[in-house]
Amino acid sequence: MTDITAQMDAVPGIDPRAPLLDVRDLRVEFRTREGVARAVNGVTLRLHPGETLAVLGESGCGKSVTAQAIMGILDTPPAHVTGGQVLYRGVDLLRLPENDRRKVRANRIAMIFQDALSALNPVYTVGFQLGELFRVHRGMSRGDAKRRAVELLDQVRIPDAKRRVNDYPHEFSGGMRQRVMIAMALALDPEVLIADEPTTALDVTVQAQIMGLLAELQRERNMGLMLITHDMGVVADVADRIAVMYAGQVVEEAPVYDIYARPAHAYTKALLESIPRLDLKGRQLNVIRGLPPALTDIPRGCAFHPRCAYAREICGIEPPPAYQIAPQRIASCHFVREVLGV
Amino acid sequence: MSDLNAVTTAEAPATDAGKPRGLAGDAWLDLRSRKVFWIAAALVVVVLLMAAWPSLFTSADPGDCLLARKNAGASGGAIFGYDFQGCDVYAKTVYGARDSVVVAIAATLIAGVIGLFVGLAAGYAGGWIDALLSRFIDVMLGVPFLLGAIVLAKRLSSDPESNGVVAVILTLGVLGWTAAARVMRSAVISAKNQDYVAAARMLGAGPGRLMFRHILPNSISPFIVVLTILLGVNIAGEATLSYLGVGLKGDAVSWGLAIAETGPYARTAAAPLVWPSVFLAATVLAFIMLGDAVRDAFDPKLR
Amino acid sequence: MFRYIVRRLLQMVLTFFGATFVVHALMFAYVDDPFQALVGDRPLTDSQRTALNARYHLDEGFFAQYWHYLKGLLTGDFGQSLTGRPIGDMLAQAWPVTIRLALLAIVIAAVIAIGAGVLSGIRRGGAFDTVTLVLTLIVLSMPIVVLAPLAQLIFGIQLGWFPPTAGRDANLYQLLLPALVLGSLVIATELRVTRTSVAENLRADYVRTARAKGLAPRRVIGVHVLRNSLIPVITLIGVDIGVLMSGAIVTEGVFNIPGVGFNLFRGVRTEDGPVVVGFVSILVIVFLVVNLIVDLLYAALDPRIRYE
């Protein structure tokens, strides 16, 4: 099997010593009748094997678009990648011919979506949809593919996998369906797993189980996990590093402990203060005033300045540079010192 | 996906700026900007004028036929030539509009009234009334339209003296209401479940007021669309029944009759068959386009 | 699944009684002289009067008449035409001809509608899509009484591409023009439904998943989008059969094809009431059975329906 694998998903130019995933200055815009919406404006991210990077932000900040641009599954039109690089082991996926890029998907970089019910095809059994991966990418027969599908369902702890492999997506509960999604993403042993809000659609109790399963599978396989979420609670439990996004940019990046203890960007700080906390019960919650900007009309200077408590004149004129404030910490804010309180 | 949604919703306020308008006002503004609507409306107006005052379009008499002019080519006012009986094809085609349009409008009115009441009753009452009426509609749909129409039209047109206009109107009206009723029913059901209806009920509005002030105005637009298209369908239906010999007859003049009469002679003279066909198709097309345009205007989701 | 089938069968039985009742009521209720209604304008002989009475029991009550008519239908006794031919024999001769014509029409319509519908659904707003939409609008606005004689005139007589008429033993080529005419009655709606359905499904989340799985576009559309998009098209077939039956009456009349529609056409023209009632009843039953099959097919194609 290894021979076939090597043949079928060979991507030219792979350098095993290069970083696993290195996104540099990625830019995506949506060209619609109403105007151009700049969804991603120069995102830079790096992901290492065995590491969990959480990408945190409000809906509309461009985090899902970033993920889909990395996967290469944006709808074009209206979406257009206008700049930057997505380097996987040193190969720029954006420059790769579509035929080669297709081999990267699911084989090297796989993705889990938010709502498993709509993300799975309603008219095919989960066995078919899992087995399809082995048939298309590994050239397996229907029977072999089905056997592998049962193994996978077993691995994600779906009880009675042998029977359930013939069920349709709507016959599973929400949590079980998300396990099927996970099984599908892990089928071809990818090195990078992108999980786009994997637990948002689930009950709180099930959320914990799914996150636990993801963390465990990640450890077993030493995968790089890019976890996209707007839930700061989820992040604190599983992430190693956090990238906070606002209006299509990464505004702060830091190890998880640091960001909770000492946020360096005004936006991160405001986000943390807007979380209801039991120990501060009775006090008024700090809510970020205003709304995220329309992506057709992003404010000049620092995109956050109209809502920022620290904003001064310069924030509306100059985009803030990315300050390296510690070995692993970057923040794009004119008033990093004031926010950090030093 | 959530990101993409955010992109579009975030843009909405910018484009919708301006004074608030009602749904009908919005729809009218939308309609006004559609070329299809104006083409369809112009065609409809021409056909209606033709039906009301045919003498505006021709000074010839469609009944003035001379066998000496049999299949003669175009001359003078008879721009489409003469048919196998020596009748002026242009005059006959112009005068054919009247019966076609009268039949279509009357039949559509009958179908509309039945459909309105059945749909309102089923949708508003719900329960066993809805179940009964819905089953009845299913049964009606169990008989393909033309098959039922042939049987009924044949039955109604047994009087050899009449020209069949009333029979065809009744046939098309009595059999054609199912689509309108279905649309009305589902529109009423969805309007009934809206919060503003519940609010009106809590404020003490009676069933009559609820129905005619709150539910009907908000569910009438798809119904009107169906009726517009039904006008076209009924024009085609009249022609088909007349063609088969169970529709208009005697002294009636209609496009369907003209097609049926001249079809067998098409080998020697094509014009008497072609022109009524073109007028018939253009009229049906006009009503379909009109219905499509109105639907698109009323359904903001499809924009 | 089982419950769905049972429920659908019960519904079909109900509709069968309802629909045959409607046909019966349309023909026989409240007439001064029901015998005269059956034969139209022409004089009625005594022997015909007796024959009609034996079949429809017109001197009995309305429901008794319905019962006799129903019994005849269920036992395969469809009565006699006014010219004395058993309607069952006429049917047996006419069916094969009509089925060949209808199948050809359905295949032509489905291939064109699905092929073009998928293409315009994928490239919505493109040149192909715009042209297709305009063409469907034109086809949609042509009633069969316009389409059939004009097609015969233009393609059969003036251009001579096809034979203008087809007889009993017509070959595929002779049936092609009538089948095209018949098929075009349903092509426009089928195409529009396919197009909308494909365009909607292309935006569905599972398509993004399929692409994330590294599947080629051909497989994404051919396997994932197509199967979902065809579900609403399949449900259309039921309605389409009714349209085809109506269309076959005129089409077979115009092209002189001695099928079921032709017999009905002649029955109407010659005011042969028993033939009209007999053929219409049979067609209604066929229509109901086809619709039942379509609904079961629908359940097989869409696993979600079985659990409703």
Q: What is the pLDDT of residues B22-80, one digit of tens each?
A: 666 677 777 777 788 888 888 888 888 888 887 777 776 766 666 666 666 666 666 66
Same-domain pairing of C158 and C290: yes
Helix (H, G, I), strand (E, B) or coil at C17: helix
Band the pLDDT of A13: cuts 50, 70, 90.
Answer: confident
* Chain B residues lying within 8 Å of A35, measured CB to CB: 11
Helix (H, G, I), strand (E, B) or coil at C126: coil
For residue B186, is it within any domain?
A: yes
DSSP A289: P
User: In the prediction, which pLDDT does A5 show?
Assistant: 44
User: Which element (helix H / strand E) includes A46?
Assistant: strand A35-47
Strand-pair partners of A83: A27
Provide the shortest C-alpha distance from residue C187 to chain A (in Å): 26
Q: How many domains does chain C have?
A: 2
Contact: A137, C214; criterion CB under 8 Å: yes
* Chain C residues lying within 8 Å of B239, measured CB to CB: 143, 145-146
For residue B32, is it within any domain?
A: no
Alpha carbons A314 and A318: distance in angstroms, whole number: 6
For residue B6, is it within any domain?
A: no
pLDDT in tens, A155-210: 888 888 888 888 888 888 888 888 898 888 888 888 889 988 888 777 778 888 88
Alpha carbons A329 and A160: distance in angstroms, whole number: 46
Same-domain pairing of C162 and C32: no
The domain that holds B155 is classified in CATH as 1.10.3720.10
Torsion of Cα atoms, C1 then C2 then C8 then C13, to 10°: 170
For residue B288, is it within any domain?
A: yes
Same-domain pairing of C251 and C208: yes
pLDDT in tens, C12-35: 888 888 888 887 777 765 555 666
Q: How many domains does chain B have?
A: 1
User: In the prediction, which pLDDT does C126 show?
Assistant: 82
Same-domain pairing of C65 and C116: no
Alpha carbons A10 and C27: distance in angstroms, whole number: 74
- Of the two residues B264 and B129, the one the predictor is more confident about is B129
Domain ranges within chain A, ordered by starting residue: 265-342
Question: Is the per-residue pLDDT at B114 higher than 90?
Answer: yes
Tokens 């991603």 correspond to what residue? A40
User: In the prediction, which pLDDT does B14 show?
Assistant: 36
Closest CA to A292 of A38, A115, A24, A13: A38
Provide the shortest C-alpha distance from residue A68 to chain B (in Å): 10
Q: Which residues contact C7 (CB under 8 A, 6 or more apart)?
A: none
Task: Give the chain A residue whose CA is nearest to the CA of B10.
Answer: A294
Same-domain pairing of C150 and C295: yes
* Chain C residues lying within 8 Å of A111, measured CB to CB: 212
| Long-range CB pairs of A94-103, under 8 A, 24+ apart, other chains included | A96/A11, A100/A11, A100/A12, A101/A72, A102/C214, A102/C215, A102/C216, A103/A8, A103/A9, A103/A10, A103/A11, A103/A137, A103/C214
For residue B235, is it within any domain?
A: yes
Q: Would the CA dihedral through B130, B136, B142, B147 be positive or negative?
A: negative
Alpha carbons C277 and B99: distance in angstroms, whole number: 28
For residue C51, is it within any domain?
A: yes
Question: Is the per-residue pLDDT at A316 higher than 80?
Answer: no
User: In the prediction, which pLDDT does B63 show?
Assistant: 67
The top-scoring range by mean pLDDT among B7-16, B91-100, C61-70 is: B91-100
Range of the domain at C67: 2-75
Same-domain pairing of C23 and C158: no
Question: Is the per-residue pLDDT at A151 higher than 80?
Answer: yes
pLDDT in tens, B187-231: 888 877 777 777 877 777 777 777 777 777 777 888 888 888 898
DSSP A290: S
CB contact at 8 A, A236 and A260: yes
User: In the prediction, which pLDDT does B115 show?
Assistant: 92
Same-domain pairing of C55 and C197: no
Task: Provide the whole-model pTM.
Answer: 0.80
For residue C122, is it within any domain?
A: yes
Helix (H, G, I), strand (E, B) or coil at B3: helix
User: Which element (helix H / strand E) includes B82?
Assistant: none
Mutate to test the interface with B, among A115, A295, A297 (most CBs of B within 10 A): A295
Alpha carbons C232 and C228: distance in angstroms, whole number: 8
* Chain A residues lying within 8 Å of C224, measured CB to CB: 121, 124
CB contact at 8 A, A174 and A203: yes
For residue B197, is it within any domain?
A: yes
Alpha carbons C163 and C180: distance in angstroms, whole number: 13
pLDDT in tens, C168-224: 777 777 788 899 999 988 898 889 889 988 988 888 889 989 988 888 888 998 889
Helix (H, G, I), strand (E, B) or coil at A39: strand
Helix (H, G, I), strand (E, B) or coil at A111: strand
Torsion of Cα atoms, A264 then A266 then A268 then A272, to 10°: 110
User: In the prediction, which pLDDT does B67 show?
Assistant: 65
Whether B260 contacts chain C with CB within 8 A:
yes
Number of helices (H), then strands (E), in chain B:
13, 0
Closest CA to C243 of B181, B287, B152, B146: B146
Same-domain pairing of C256 and C111: yes
The domain that holds C231 is classified in CATH as 1.10.3720.10
For residue B9, is it within any domain?
A: no
User: In the prediction, which pLDDT does C32 show?
Assistant: 58
Other CB atoms within 10 Å distance of the CB of residue C218: 8
Range of the domain at B268: 38-302
For residue B222, is it within any domain?
A: yes
Alpha carbons B107 and C198: distance in angstroms, whole number: 36
For residue C83, is it within any domain?
A: no
